[in-house]
Every structure is written in C-alpha cells, then in structure tokens.
Structure 1
Amino acid sequence: MQEHSLRLGKVKQENRRTISFSQRTPFLYVIGVGTSVAVNIALAKQSVMNGIDPLKVLSIPLLGAAMLLLMYLGIKGDLKSLNVKYFRYCLFAGLLGVSLPNLASNLALQELPASTFSVLLTLSPLFTLLLSIPFQRIGLSLRRITGIGISFVAVMFVTISPDFRLQEEGGIILIAISVPLFLAMGNIYRSRCYPTLASPIALATGVLCVQSLIWMPISIVIELESFSTISFGSWLVLFSMSVNSAFSYFLTFRLQALTDGLGFSQVGNVVTVVGIGIGILFFSEGLGYQLMVALPLLFVGLAMTNKSARN
C-alpha cells in the first residue's frame, strides 16, 4: 500500500512538472522568436544602410533560410513531410506573415531608426485583437477601447516628431505601420487555417521555399543593383540573416502550434524591448524623451487590452 502511494506521488509530481513545462514553453518560444526578429531588424537596417536594395534584403535571406531548413530535413531524412497539399497555406501564410511585412520593414528602415521601428511593432497585438473580434463572441469593451487608444497615442508620440512633414514623412510612416498590420493578418490566418497534422518544421520550410520561388525571380527581374556589386561584408550580413531567419521560423511554427493568433502577437512586445536595446547599443540611437514616455504608455495600453481579452 505504501509502495503504491509512493508510485502515485511520483506520477503526480511528474505530471505537475510536465504541465509546468508546457505552460512555460510558449513563453520561451515568444522570447526566442521576438529576440531573433529584433536581431534580423538590426541586420536588415545594416544592409539597407550599406546600400543593398530592399528586394534583395528580402529575397536573399529567404532563399538562404529555405536552403538551410531543406538541408535540415534532408539530414533527418524527413523530406517526405513536405506536402503539396499545404501549398495554399504556405502561399498565404508566407505572404501575410513573412514576405510583405519584411519587404515593408526593409523600405521603412531606410528612413526610420531601428528603435523607433521596433516600437511600431507593438501595434501587432492591437491589430490582431481588432481583427480577431469578428471571430469571437465578445465585443470591444470600454477597457479595450481605452487600452487601444493609449497604445496608438504612444506610438504616434514616438514616430511623429514636432517638425513632422506629412508630404515627406507620411509615406514612410504608413509603410512602417503596414508591417504590424500584415503581421496581425498573418497571425489571424495562421490561427484559423493552421494544418494541425502537419510538421511545424515542414511548414516553415514550405513557407520559405514558396516565398523564395516568388521573390527571388522578382528580385532578379527588377534588378535595382547587380548581385556582383554586393560587398563581402554585406554578404556576411545577409548570410547571418539567413541563419537567423531559419532559426526564427523554425521556432515560429512550433509556437503557432501551441497558441492562438493573439498569444502569438505578443512576440511584438519582445521585439520592441530588444529592438530598442539594439538600436541604442549598435546604432547609437539615443533614448529620447519620446521613447521614455511612450514605452510605459505602450505597456499600460497592452496590459489593459490583454487583461480585457482574457476576461
């Protein structure tokens, strides 16, 4: 009897550990994905500062990441997990969550500081919340509306300076704001259409392969600069983006299997914090009073919307 009780106690303890780990796992993935995205923003910023056109900063890392994940599947002997029946998912999830936001990012980073751009990504959870309302039975409460309003004010405070000129800077701000909008649309699409029986690594590989097949030919046809003019140092940066992208999307599709679109969108908060740190440390971007005021407002707004969503 005593031995049975000891065994039962061990089983319960192991179950508690399993549940505790499974509860922590999405959080760890959020940190990992958010950090890798912030690093890629910094690398993309460095690339466009070196004069590489935004299309190549998109297409070369996409192709490199796709090749790395294909090699990984080949080494595992799991290439058969790639299935053409997931083509539609790979096409639309890739366009909304990978290609279009990354292309818009590269265009915006030609003008915006990395830290300012990182703040804009906090709009991703808010856009995701707004776009997910038609699929939920709950509407916009006063608390949610207030939280969304505070967050938008904070973002505008940090992106629109006192000498803001609409004709010259309005276009780049709209391009930058389209990034979290595309990401939110991607979050909703993946949460609604995610093929639960598919391997996450196979989906990540499929998405990158399909997007590479779209954007590499476009990059070659619309050749704003020759590939041969890219310096060795710039190729190293693009290769680093490829490795980091492969790792990021490997984690992304594992995270998507564990949470919904709103939970996934919290990656944007990690990107903001890490991105601001990278901007200050590596691009000598100052922590101005706008950022110091905007950051607390952003997290207050996000806390209000997220708490209301959970309730």
Structure 2
Amino acid sequence: MTALWRSVFGLLVVTGLLLGATPPLGKVATLAGAPPLLWSFVISFGAGTLLLAGLLARGGRIGLGAAKLRYFFLAAIISYAIPNLLMFSAVPHLGAGYTGIMFTLSPVLTLLLSILLGVRKPNGLGMAGIAVGFVGALLVAITRGEASEPASLFWVAIGLLIPVSLAAGNIYRTIDWPKDAGPIELAAGSHLAAALVLLVGLLVTGDIAVLPVLGTIPLVVAAQVASASAMFIFFFRLQSVGGPVYLSQIGYVAAAVGLFAGVVFLGERYSLLTWIGALIIAAGVAMTTRAQKAEA
C-alpha cells in the first residue's frame, strides 16, 4: 500500500479503474428507478461518511476555516454534483461505454483550460494534441451512442459537458488547494458538502420521495459507495502529487473500464466509427501527455 501511495502511475491506474465502475453502476441504478439526483447523493453521502469515519479513526478532523469551506463547496459543485448529474442523466440514453468515452476528453480539455487560464504555457505538441482530441470527439459525437439506439443530439451535448465540468474541477482544485490540508480531509469535506447541496436539490424537486427504491438494489448501492470511497482517497492523493493534467488522464483508464463493462455485462454495442473516434482521442491524450513531459 505504501508503494502504491508513492507511485504516481499506480495511483493513476487504480483511480481510473475505480472511476470506470461508476457509469455501469449508474446505468443499473437509473434503470432500476433511481433518479440522477438521488444516485449522485448516494455517491457523495456514502463516500463522504466513510471517508470522515476513516479520518476520525486516525485522529484527524475536518477544518472549518473560510478557505476550506470555500474549497469544500466549490469543489463539491464543480467536481462532483454537476458531473455526476450530467453523467447519470446521460448514461441511460448514451450507454455506459459511450459515456465513459467522454472521460477521455478530460485531459485534453484540462490542458486547454490550463493554457487559457495561464496555468501552463502552450507548446506546439500540446496544441496539436488538443486538436486531435477534438477530431476524435467529433467522430464519437456523430455516432450518438449505442449503434442500435442512437440518442438525440441533446443527450450527446449533455455527454460532452461531462469532460468540460471535470476539467474545470481539475483546475479549480489545484489552484485553490488549501494549505496544510490532506487529501482524505479534502475528499471527505467536499463530498459531505456535495451531499448537502444534493439533499437540498432532492427536497426541492421532490425526488426524495423515491428514496425507497434504493432498497431494491442494495448490492449496487454498496458497490457504488465502496468504489467511490476508495476512488476518492486515491483521487486526491493523485491530485496532490501529479497535478491537474496528469490527474485528468484517469479518464483514459475509466473509459476502457466503462466500455468493457458496457459491452460485456450490459450488452451494449457501438459502431466502428465510435471505436475509431475513441482511438483518435487516445492519440490526442498521448500527445498532450508527451507535451507535458517535455515541458517538465
């Protein structure tokens, strides 16, 4: 465990694998009748509670200073509430595998935002990687989800907003990371903040009334909470040691897991153009990664 905690590549793989389980589990839950708002709450409340328990058991605590509270709630909205709502709304229409492909755009968009916000200086290879990634995204968007059930352009657009939100979260968490804050503290605090925001949403929309549906899928709930809790421990550790752009590459691993689970376990089928687009996106990610290594 100590070796994994110190390995940036190991953290990347484990975090990506755990993240990749989210779209398939989310599809099963939404098809069972759990609204996106409720399933997003399950993730944040479950993960936040378990992470807080682990933090307290180790003698830690969550700081409630102004800087940390700002971080908790802004990270909660940008990084968790919005992406999860988008994901779980789109996955029944686009498929778990197709939605997972959207994760692969996160590194490209994170680099683009880093350049636009002055976090990084642009270089030729990085800009070329961004362009290649967008070409792949365009091809994937044209196929509109599963081959047998093409989704409307509206749901494709919702799917494309997922990596935009993830990229914004990657940048925000880096530039506003509170001093003397550990990864587990930040993970617990931001998820509990997200749970509070989502609970308000459940009460306002009336979706809280369908809470009993969770009792019909207890194993799915348990699997989602366990995977999310573990994932965010590694997620924040990777953020602190790898930076926002390296962190964003978990989308590449997550997409592979989502595609595998969607095709093998959920019976999803995608056109050849979707697979070609995914490979082109992967090429764009490889280019942006190499560009950042060259900068380093």
Partners of 2:246 and 2:57 in 1: how far apart? 32
Decide whether aligned partners of structure 1 residues 228 and 114 sit closer, same or farther in structure 2, where only a CA change above 3 A counts: closer
2:243 aligned with 1:257, yes or no? no
1:123 to 2:123 alignment: no
- Contact kept in structure 2, 1:53 and 1:225, CA below 8 Å: no
- Number of matched residues? 287
- Deviation sequence 1:253-309 (CA, Å, 0-9, x none): 111111211111111111111111111111112353123322332222222222233
CA shift for structure 1 position 187: 0.6
Structure 2: how far apart are the matches of 1:216 and 1:225?
8
Equivalent of 2:200, from 210, 214, 217? 217
**Cα distance, 1:137 vs. partner?**
5.8
In the alignment, is residue 34 of structure 1 matched against residue 41 of structure 2? Answer: no
In the TM superposition, what whole-angstrom CA distance separates every residue of 1:202-246 from its partner, at most 9, and x where no partner exists? 111111111111111221331246235415332431232122211
Alignment of 1:154-169 (within 5 A): 154-161=136-143, 169=152
Provide the secondary structure at the position in 2 that maps to 1:300.
Answer: helix
CA gap 1:137/1:255 in 2 versus in 1, 3 angstroms: closer
Residue 162 (structure 1) shift: 8.3
Taking structure 1 as the reference length, the TM-score comes to 0.84
Change (3 A) 1:22 1:57: closer
Q: 1:290 — aligned with what?
A: 273
- Paired residue secondary structure (1:135): coil
Q: Is the 8 A contact 1:201 1:250 kept in 2?
A: yes
1:225–1:87 Cα change, 3 Å: closer
CA distance in 2 between partners of 1:35 and 1:162 (Å): 25
Show the counterpart of 1:207.
190
1:308 aligns with 2:276: no
Amino acid at match of 1:260: G
How has the CA–CA distance of structure 1 residues 200 and 111 changed in structure 2, closer, same or farther, with 3 Å as cutoff? Answer: same
1:22, 1:225 → 2: CA distance? 39
Deviations 1:130-178 (A, max 9, x none): 100132463352x3333222222222222323899xxx71221111111
* Aligned residue number for residue 67 of structure 1: 49
1:82 partner letter? G
Contact residue 109 and residue 130 of structure 2 kept, 8 A: no
Deviation for aligned residue 1:48: 0.9
Is the partner of 1:197 in helix, strand or coil?
A: coil
Q: Kindly indicate whether residue 165 of structure 2 is the aligned counterpart of residue 182 of structure 1.
A: yes
Cα deviation, residue 190, structure 1: 1.1
Identity score, percent: 28
Larger Rg: 1
Alpha-carbon distance in structure 2 between the residues aligned to 1:234 and 1:289 = 34
Query: Alpha-carbon deviations, 1:11-40, whole Å to 9, x = none?
Result: xxxxxxx9xx68961111111111111111
TM-score (norm 2): 0.88
Out of 115, 119, 128, the residue aligned to residue 146 of structure 1 is 128
Residue in structure 1 matching 2:83, options 101, 117, 132: 101
CA distance in 2 between counterparts of 1:301 and 1:180 reads: 14
Give the Cα–Cα distance (whole angstroms) in 1 for the partners of residues 140 and 181 of structure 2: 41
Residues 73 and 162 from structure 1, CA distance in 2 versus in 1: closer, same or farther, beyond 3 angstroms?
Answer: closer
Deviates more, 1:233-242 or 1:182-191: 233-242
**CA RMSD after TM alignment:** 2.4
Are 1:63 and 1:216, in contact at CA under 8 Å, matched by a contact in 2?
no
